[in-house]
Amino acid sequence: MSPTVAAEVIIGKWLDDLGSPNYLDAQFKIVKDDGKYFLERRNGDGSGGRYRLEKEKDDEAYIKVGDQFGAVYVVTPEGLEIYDRDGYIRTAKELKKN
C-alpha cells in the first residue's frame, strides 16, 4: 500500500493590480496543503514566494505568520482584501476560474 498524499486545495486566486507602471502587478493564490494554509505570491518580475498563513476560526481571514507588518488577507465577494496593522490597504480582484 502506498501512503495517502493530501492534494493541495486552491482557496482562490487574485490579481493585485497596483495601477502604476513603476510597479508590476502580482498574483496571489491561497492554498490548503496538508492541513496548512499558504499564500503563494508571484510578482510581475517573476519573483515571489510561499508564505505560511493561519486561518481565523469562523472567518475567511488569513494571518501571515511572522510578518513584520502584520499582514492579513480576507476573502470577500469583492476580492482579496489586504490589510496590515495600520488597516485596509487595497482589494485584489479575483482571477476567473478556468
Q: How far is CA 77 from the centre of its chain?
A: 15
Q: What's the pLDDT band for 21 if we cut at 50, 70, 90? A: low
97 lies in some domain: no
- Is the model's pLDDT at 26 over the cut of 70? yes
Average pLDDT, the chain: 90
2 lies in some domain: no
CATH code for position 22: 2.40.128.50
40 lies in some domain: yes
48 lies in some domain: yes
98 lies in some domain: no
1 lies in some domain: no
13 lies in some domain: yes
Tally of domains in the chain: 1
CA-to-CA dists, residue 82 to 1, 6, 37, 70, 71, angstroms: 44, 28, 16, 11, 7
Domain that holds residue 69: 7-92
Which pLDDT tens digit goes with each residue over 47-61?
999 999 999 988 899
pTM of the model: 0.85
Which pLDDT tens digit goes with each residue over 28-49?
999 999 999 999 999 888 899 9
12 lies in some domain: yes
